[in-house]
Amino acid sequence: MNLTVLDWGIVVLVFAFIITVVISSKKLMRSVSDFLAAGRTGGRYLISLSQGTAALGAITIVGMLEMNYIAGFCLRWWEMVMAVVLVTISVSGWVLYRFRQTRALTMAQFFEIRYSRSFRIFAGGLAFLSGIINFGIFPAVSARFFIYFCGLPHSINIFGVPISTFALTMIIILWIPLYFVFSGGQIAVMITDFLQGIFTNAVFIVIIIVLMLKVDWAHVFAAVSAAPANASLINPFKTGSTKDYNFWYFLIGMIGVIYGKLSWQGTQAYNASAKSAHEAKMGDVLMNWRNIPQWGLFLVFVPVVAYSFLHHPDFGGQAASIQPILNGLDSAALRSQLTVPLALTKLLPVGLMGAFAAVMLAASIACHETYLHSWGSIFIQDVVMPIRRKPFPPEQHIKYLKAAIFGVAVFIFFFSLLFQQSEYIFLFFAVTGAIFAGGSGAVIIGGLYWKRGTTAAAWSAMITGSVTAV
């Protein structure tokens, strides 16, 4: 067990606080609109922090630690070059502003308004399929993090029957966000994501300071300078031999930021939750600043420190202690995912271990509750209801939404239990996300900005883009 009593106490305290907030927010949900889009009451500050936390997630943290352990500082260099473009997109309200003006609750609902009902059903089904497959590995990655970071046994005996810790942890990871979503819908999601975001940023900053004191810049520079010449962790122009996470990965991602704005529907409820189009745009602008402690500092600096710890001879004895654990993992993909978390078990002091575990629990809850809400809602709103053609009574409508959300949770549990991941996390995201995002960018941009866009063109763009991307 890697966590002490103090560490577990911090985790329990944070979780108890979040549960208390959810229970107190139950009375705020009074309608289907409240469940789906928080009654469209979100202000810019709430939207910016909540949506950012929802998009982060435990799996995203693990994926970013994995990516930047391989790429070092190089991807960050290219991303800083594109910072002006990202800010311009946010300030201009590109896609987001016009979509919010449509008053649509989902992107596929806008497709019906702009194109046709049958296209809404097709696009909604495609988004749902892409989403639940993409979502399928979330519980597995999160559960493995907690097992190896906390040092949990691989099985426990309950009444003499051995139970897999992996399966049990996934059940807990899914049950908590299910309870949150069922209690207050998007209102509970936004409030808890906001509070978890504040806590996450504070802990990230403390961890950065502690690691800077423990592994000084001389160690970092010596370790990253020793990387192969054509797989540099410093010079972005010398990454020809860097596998996967190189300039081309960045370039494709930047094109996706422009072309695919609002294409990904994992946080779709936030697109409709703002008070107005202006508040939605300002929330997006503020998110660029909110991201700095997470994406700009922690998720770049920490994996580089972990790389230095594992490659600098001064830390050889400590680093060697995690090698048997890595060697015992089944695949290269799992070793890649868990390298940085295992390094952190040797770098973080008592107390901060518990704080980081609490952060990962909060991030896991935030991401799972948002994605469960999104994919379950999309299935009912954009597949079932357009086929049915007749609206549900409000109480029945919420029951069906909850049933769909529960169904999504069951699917991803078994997907995670059975699927053998062999790719990097972000590459899996890219392939599965392309099922919908490959064609939806043209349909969204054309629908919002070009009056001459036709339904036939939307069908052609969606099918051609998705097939080509996949």
Give the residues across from 115 on adjacent strands.
none
Provide the token pair at 349. Answer: 């002091």
Query: Is pLDDT above 80 for 100?
Result: yes
235: confidence class by pLDDT, cuts 50, 70, 90: confident
Looking at residue 222, what is its pLDDT? 87
- What percentage of the chain has pLDDT greater than the value 70? 99
Find out whether 42 and 279 touch, Cβ atoms under 8 Å: yes
Looking at residue 459, what is its pLDDT? 96
Looking at residue 224, what is its pLDDT? 83
pLDDT digits (tens, 9 = 90+) for 139-186: 999 999 999 999 998 888 877 788 899 999 999 999 999 999 999 899
Distances in Å between the alpha carbon of 192 and those of 170, 177, 361, 362? 20, 10, 12, 9
pLDDT digits (tens, 9 = 90+) for 184-232: 899 998 998 888 888 988 999 999 999 988 888 888 888 888 877 777 7
Give which of 353, 428, 330, 372 is closest to 63, Cα–Cα.
428
Query: Is pLDDT above 90 for 54?
Result: no
Looking at residue 255, what is its pLDDT? 83
Q: How far apart are CA 61 and CA 166, in angstroms?
A: 19
Give which of 22, 60, 127 is closest to 382, Cα–Cα.
127
- The b/e string for 359-390 (b: 16+ C-beta within 10 A; e otherwise) is bbbbbbbbbbbbbbbbbbbbbbbbbbbbeeee
The amino acid present at 258, given as its one-letter code, is I
Give which of 224, 216, 194 is closest to 76, Cα–Cα.
224
Task: State the chain's mean pLDDT as an integer.
Answer: 88
pLDDT digits (tens, 9 = 90+) for 439-452: 999 999 999 999 89
Looking at residue 271, what is its pLDDT? 83
SS (H, E, C) 286-300: HHHHHCHHHHHHHHH
Q: How far apart are CA 148 and CA 375, in angstroms?
A: 29
| Residues in the chain, overall count | 470
- What interhelical angle do 44-71 and 138-150 show, nearest 10? 70
pLDDT digits (tens, 9 = 90+) for 274-312: 888 888 888 888 887 777 777 768 888 899 999 999 988
Query: Is pLDDT above 80 for 50?
Result: yes
Backbone Cα Rg of the chain = 22
Looking at residue 86, what is its pLDDT? 79
345: confidence class by pLDDT, cuts 50, 70, 90: very high
Residues 6+ apart with CB under 8 A from 388: none
Unique residue bearing structure tokens 């906390």: 150
Query: Is pLDDT above 80 for 95?
Result: yes
Give which of 322, 231, 285 is closest to 97, Cα–Cα.
285
